[in-house]
Copies of this chain bind each other. A is one copy, B any other.
Amino acid sequence: MTIETQRHSAAHVMAAAIQRLFPEAKFGVGPAIENGFYYDIDIGRAVTPEDLEKISAEMKQIMKEHPTFERMELPIDEAIAVFEKAGQVYKVELLKDLKEKGTTSLSESEREEFEAVDRVSLYKTGTFIDLCRGPHVENANQIGAWKILKIAGAYWRGKETNPQMQRIYGLCFATQEDLKAYLTMMEEAERRDHKKLGRDLDLFTFSDLVGSGLPLWTPRGTLVRDLLDAYVWSLRSQKGYMKVTIPHITKKDLYERSGHWAKFQDELFKIISREGHEFALKPMNCPHHTQIFDCRLRSYREMPQRYAETTMVYRDEQSGELSGLSRVRSITQDDAHVFCRKSQIEAECFAIWDIIDTFYSTFGFELNVRLSTHDPEKFEKYLGTKAVWEEAETTLRAMIEKRGRTYVEGKGEAAMYGPKIDFMGKDALGRMHQVATVQLDFNMPERFDLSCVNEQGEKERIVMIHAAIMGSIERFLSVLIEHYAGAFPVWMAPVQVRVAPVADRHNTFAEQLRDELIAAGIRADVDESTESVGKKIRAGEMAKIPYLLVVGDKEIDGTELTVRVRGMKDQLALQKDAFIARVTSESAEHK
């Protein structure tokens, strides 16, 4: 029995407990999710933390009764009658939708309720009966370790205009050990929360006047962003990339041509100029970049053209969806587009892959590969013909295999204009994040009629490769902050070395030392507060600075520096030159 089945069954047990405690409760949907389950309920008022405790106690009680899960199938009209009688208005709505429009009218979580129009099944757990396609455990005693987690608001069927329900989340794992490990990881993740660390380390801020989802980057945060970006650029420039610069707005004409206007209308920030023209803030950069490629006739001698640009794109996200740096309205992308001939695709993709491998190994991220392809059942979501999509997907699949990598296929995960290879990185807490991406695009070149003149003097259709290494710098930094718990490695620490004078009389020496370090290209400062040296050391540790130099009479008289290395108990005694050489080489080697 799979863990998903256990999770789904735990959701039913929770619903059964809720029904016992709140007989008038109306139920929405209650699917299994990653790490657990949830159920959307409506008890006519907000669910309180005390309610959660009661629900948890009642679940334990039910578990002790070892109820079985009994399946029964009913004709759809009878099922409607059953739930109408029980006053379960949400379930009735789903059943009627199913009857009228079939399963395609339902969301993914709603589909878990039914197998098909003619096979509506119900599961009975004790006195609780629920719509469900199953499967379930035979008996509740087969459910592993679980825990009620939290409450959140959720609109019925995800629509703001619908009634708001209460979503109760639970965790469920096969064993107590797994549950405990997950809870420990969650606690650690909370301790590392990038929103809190971002504030503590003075990396970014939000302003009520500017608005949510629009981070403002302080000097330290900007430095970290720029260091990351400079690293990506150093890797790209070795592969022949060139920077370009585009405005952040465009007439809608560009997106009508690219297809974005029709497919992404809702997420576009739209602007009407004083003359009544329609503009949009760019949600991506590829259409603008095509216009640079296409500003003159290109010879095959100039191919490939590799354009890179780190720039912001904008998405009109709903306020409720915004969260720290993970989901923002202004997204900085380290974007690149390669305009190349078909014969150049593999070499260009492998060059990007090399950059990705080098970059992510720096952070100790293990990368998994996913081939994201189109969903043949929803082909209307994409641009272009089936033949073009199959050619592009075949090309990418062959490259992954040539590279000797295992991969999973993500059906329906492709971009609007083409399939892609996505790289999934595993962080220090074992969480997976989608990081880099390489996308193969035969469609934009068609829509913008992009070509070069080949050796025979003929017009040759070219191909576009979209490649981001970090993707969104905001999201990637949210991952990195939590990955390192804010203790950035030397090369990306905003302050690499802090000089802490023992007393006021050591300040001048400390400042000279700082200036020498700065002259050597090291980011250094002095703690000139009037605090004790012990407090200065503690403050340096709190600020997660890699090196602290304590400067007192001994250091002024002698030739050695007293070096406190972050995370190490013992101090080092190093000659100044040796210390400078150490920090410099760590920076250069991205350590």
Give A contacts to B, CB under 8 Å.
202, 205, 207-211, 214-219, 221-223, 225-226, 242-251, 253-254, 257, 266, 269-275, 277, 279, 281, 287-288, 291-292, 294-296, 301, 307, 312, 314, 316, 318-319, 329-330, 332, 528-529
Q: Which residues of B contact A211 (CB under 8 A)?
A: 249-251, 253, 277, 279
Q: Which residues of B contact A528 (CB under 8 A)?
A: 301
A201–B210 Cα distance when bound, in Å, is: 40
A235 CB, nearest partner CB in chain B, Å: 16
A254–B207 Cα distance when bound, in Å, is: 9
Q: Which residues of B contact A226 (CB under 8 A)?
A: 243
From B250, B318, B319, give the contact of A214 (CB < 8 A): B250
Contact B274 A271 (CB under 8 A): no
From B202, B209, B219, B223, give the contact of A250 (CB < 8 A): B209
Contact B222 A243 (CB under 8 A): yes
Interface of A is mostly: mixed
Q: Which residues of B contact A273 (CB under 8 A)?
A: 269, 316
A504 CB, nearest partner CB in chain B, Å: 14
Copy total for this chain: 2
Q: Which residues of B contact A292 (CB under 8 A)?
A: 205, 216-218
A319–B254 Cα distance when bound, in Å, is: 18
A531–B319 Cα distance when bound, in Å, is: 60
Q: Which residue of B has the minimal Cβ distance to A332? A: B245
Q: Which residues of B contact A270 (CB under 8 A)?
A: 271-272
From B223, B253, B266, B529, give the contact of A274 (CB < 8 A): B266
Contact B242 A207 (CB under 8 A): no
A257–B312 Cα distance when bound, in Å, is: 25
From B202, B225, B269, B529, give the contact of A249 (CB < 8 A): B269
Contact A207 B307 (CB under 8 A): no
Contact B209 A254 (CB under 8 A): yes
Contact B281 A271 (CB under 8 A): yes
Contact A319 B275 (CB under 8 A): yes
A74–B332 Cα distance when bound, in Å, is: 67
Contact B216 A244 (CB under 8 A): yes
Contact B314 A249 (CB under 8 A): yes
From B222, B247, B301, B329, give the contact of A330 (CB < 8 A): B247
From B219, B307, B319, give the contact of A242 (CB < 8 A): B219
Q: Which residues of B contact A218 (CB under 8 A)?
A: 244, 292, 295
- Using known A-B contacts A269-B279, A271-B270, A292-B216, determine if residue A210 contacts B247 with beta carbons closer than 8 Å: yes
A305–B300 Cα distance when bound, in Å, is: 51
Q: Which residues of B contact A277 (CB under 8 A)?
A: 211
